[in-house]
Homo-oligomer: A and B are copies of this chain.
């Protein structure tokens, strides 16, 4: 296999110039860089990355830490990060770190200290005070996605607005009895954004004078979680709401399935709105607030590269737009049902 000396000879430059041109460490003119790169490509030269790392202090690797993989949101953020890194020929080092797990302790105590990556993307991670300390000691760029804002660069939708807009959609259709379904009450096992979506719902209910009828039916933020919570909630005929806001589409879809099993027609007697525009949304004709986690992953890489190129660059918070997509799981409440709700509240 060709070595750096072969490349230097073919390009007519010294070995150290060839090395600078290929690693990006130190000054080389654009013309020389292009000539060296052409020679390297022609000769099939692949640098020994351990040696490159010792020279540049760069690993060409980005670390990604996330609490779980088996969720639509996380899988698609990861694919977006992966695609953007591949274009830049960076490696992606993945660390699964469920809340309060041994793996999570290992990540913050051991893997961060090894500094085997040039920067870190934290997806849906709400760090403890101690973990924040470790992130600061890490001393390299950090970008957070869809979670707690650690004072660094961050990418997400405006979760509070998403909860509010979904709720206002139902209020605008005449619904008065609207329950927010899904998400953990203590917030530890779900993403930080779930709490903000609930707050957005509560804000909209308050603003419409519906505070007294606001209710939260907690569940795991999954399809089976939403199914179970909705089955309990809708099984009680006397307190059945006419509208549901799901903390995410998986919960909303679980609720629709539960409603169908109970013989409750969607949207005739129950309107359901979700948040995500999950790949299942279309199949269930689900009205939802759209987010594109793949794009959020790409944006996180963009912010990280910016920070790597210019450590003095200001930090940014990017809110991805999240439009309401109206399908047919929501409808205006009919007058009769509306009158009954009017009596009840």
A-side residues, CB < 8 A to B, are: 46, 48-51, 53-54, 59, 61, 64, 68-72, 75-76, 78-79, 82-83, 86, 89, 91-96, 103, 106-107, 110-111, 113-116, 222-224, 227, 254, 257, 260-261, 279-280, 282-283
Contact B116 A49, beta carbon cutoff 8 Å = yes
Chain B residues in 8 Å Cβ range of A53: 50, 53
CB distance from A301 to the nearest CB of B (A): 13
Contact B96 A83, beta carbon cutoff 8 Å = yes
A82-B96 contact given A116-B49, A116-B91, CB 8 Å threshold: yes
A94-B94 contact given A70-B279, A223-B280, A224-B283, CB 8 Å threshold: yes
Query: A69-B82, A260-B261 known; 19 other A-B pairs, CB under 8 Å?
Result: A46-B115, A48-B54, A50-B51, A50-B53, A50-B54, A50-B59, A68-B79, A69-B76, A70-B279, A83-B103, A86-B106, A91-B93, A92-B93, A92-B95, A93-B93, A93-B94, A223-B280, A224-B279, A257-B283
In this complex, what residue of B is CB-closest to A1?
B113
Chain B residues in 8 Å Cβ range of A257: 257, 283
CB distance from A328 to the nearest CB of B (A): 14
15 contacts between A and B (CB under 8 A): A50-B51, A54-B54, A68-B79, A70-B72, A70-B75, A70-B279, A78-B96, A83-B103, A91-B93, A91-B111, A92-B94, A93-B94, A224-B279, A224-B283, A227-B283
In this complex, what residue of B is CB-closest to A93?
B91
Chain B residues in 8 Å Cβ range of A76: 69-70
Contact B224 A282, beta carbon cutoff 8 Å = yes
Of A107, A110, A224, A227, which is in contact with the most chain B CB atoms at under 10 Å from its CB?
A224
- How many copies make up the complex? 2
Chain B residues in 8 Å Cβ range of A91: 93, 111, 116
Chain B residues in 8 Å Cβ range of A114: 46, 49
| The one of B49, B68, B103, B280 that contacts A86, using a Cβ cutoff of 8 Å | B103
Chain B residues in 8 Å Cβ range of A260: 260-261
6 interchain residue pairs of minimum CB distance: A50-B53, A70-B75, A69-B75, A224-B283, A82-B96, A94-B94
In this complex, what residue of B is CB-closest to A260?
B260
A279-B46 contact given A76-B70, A79-B69, A93-B93, CB 8 Å threshold: no
Contact A82 B94, beta carbon cutoff 8 Å = yes
Chain B residues in 8 Å Cβ range of A222: 279
In this complex, what residue of B is CB-closest to A284?
B257
CB distance from A106 to the nearest CB of B (A): 6
A306 to B110, CA, bound (A): 24
| The one of B71, B82, B106, B227 that contacts A95, using a Cβ cutoff of 8 Å | B82
In this complex, what residue of B is CB-closest to A64?
B94
Contact A51 B54, beta carbon cutoff 8 Å = yes
In this complex, what residue of B is CB-closest to A107?
B86
A68 to B283, CA, bound (A): 21
CB distance from A21 to the nearest CB of B (A): 18
Chain B residues in 8 Å Cβ range of A227: 283
CB distance from A274 to the nearest CB of B (A): 15
